[in-house]
Chain A
């Protein structure tokens, strides 16, 4: 007997029925992305259980008798934490809402069915909210569940608060995506939404690093400011500011208000925008593929396979909104480090510099790894390259060059300023960045795994070995750079270890071809 495809208890076509379908597809997508099948799921479950047992339970015992006081400081902390969670959720939902416009998937099928479009959209975004909620719920559960069981069952209301935030973020994400669509048109919305999502996600981090960016004289750290303000005797907050904290600790009225607020915002956005969404989705079809008006393109052809491949890879990198947003996110996280490094170099604070130089190398390794994966493994037309009369080495060189060029553009100003202000540190950082880029690039060539560009965000799951090697190499070269910048002879040890590791991992052309099962 075949398994029943649809639940017999739910009326076909109803919102719940459709939501079940969406969630099943989402779950299967999660399983498909996880390599290792059932064993991988058990490993994740075991890891979460271990965290719960060894960190959650002790924390629960510690907090057993703690009653959180509603003071200005605790209120501000709760508000800030929820605001951070909300911005992280919003950065996900705005990108997902935009992608839904362009890669509609089965929305065409749903919109062409007799179901009301609003229902289809409600379900699609409810599934998105569920996804976002589940991500955060999994992260907090190893801590929250033991705490709730041991002494604070009322704190389970944090899940409801998370759900309300996820609903609110989904509604806002949809509204933001549609707003961008109306404001800048279908051709640019996709890329801009990815960047906006990255900016929103990094917003709180940047705010917290204001001191590093602006300099000590102009700002103090966010945390110190908060403590100072909250401790001031005359400082009071409006009562509503305490509602998030009270909702988190299970106070029924604020909890119900927050949950209702999230639901109303979600349903309001859907109701308000559902008709518009259908129209925009139709307008988005192919619109972002049109050329920018008034621009002459491809005036001169590139000469030779290297130049043509390099140009093609750079074009594809530049047009990859997901990649740009991720690199931008890393640049945003790097910005405070860069400012700190240059300011310390200018002030001749030599002891603070080696760590910064090592951080710069870690950043370079991460970005080089991402770009090299895109250019080497995510080749859209491998057969075209395979049947071209071009040696494989030419492609590899061009692809690595394409991966390194954007990184060089990003790092050159920082490294140049650093070299002017502290020549030894600058040169060590430049050598470290070059070495780590080359090392991760070569690892991506030796252990390439043909994938789709769309898998970029999940690339780490596709080749855990290459990922692990990249991380270890990054750490070794960063350590060597930091020690060299500090003038330590011990820098030779991690540098030699990294070199030996590269020698041990090296693969010949024939070995790469065998691994890829291609005709070398």
Chain B
């Protein structure tokens, strides 16, 4: 009885804050646009039977007719995938250096990785506008060094979006990899060397496979939010960058087409379910291996 009550709490939480909102969004995606408040029909006032009889999939059909949406989904997937790889390439050496650092330094280094979270995410992304703009710090610095003659255009290009995503999600990559490397027994590397491996070979054959779970976890933690990212492309990417988060925002606020925006959101969720399930399975396997 007690156990059931205990388990009921997280389930009630999920029901109230995830399943019910999703059901609402799904219902709106099946509705029609209307000049009303709320801007769709049918609404709850019409009674259950009316609602059910008026629902249809025409918004989803519309998404397939306009290639804007397909392009936005594909471009989002591409940007999220490339950013994940970039984050991994930058995050892995950082996590490795942290795990190899003297014991006394590690809490400080860990703190430094987490420190940016103390400032609002929005403000940090705005700060990049100041850094990356034509008159920004980066261009001024490069001009001063004499590396370039005229300012580089970085802001409002995909490059700026990659910089923004890598910067924002780097801690999510570093932390799981760090925790995997931290647990790695140093004598395994010595054993590999003792058995004839060079340092590099030992890294490739032992360290990488044994931090695989951290790499997978980190990659999902970056890929999943990056796919639906809205703030970074709209602040740093300008009009040229097509990402589904931005499309969704525009449908919702600019066009006030709630049903289409909801349909976009439902599809995005379906796309995300695949990596989420894979992530879940990886976590589960990791716990089993640990036990």
Asked if A and B bind, the verdict is no
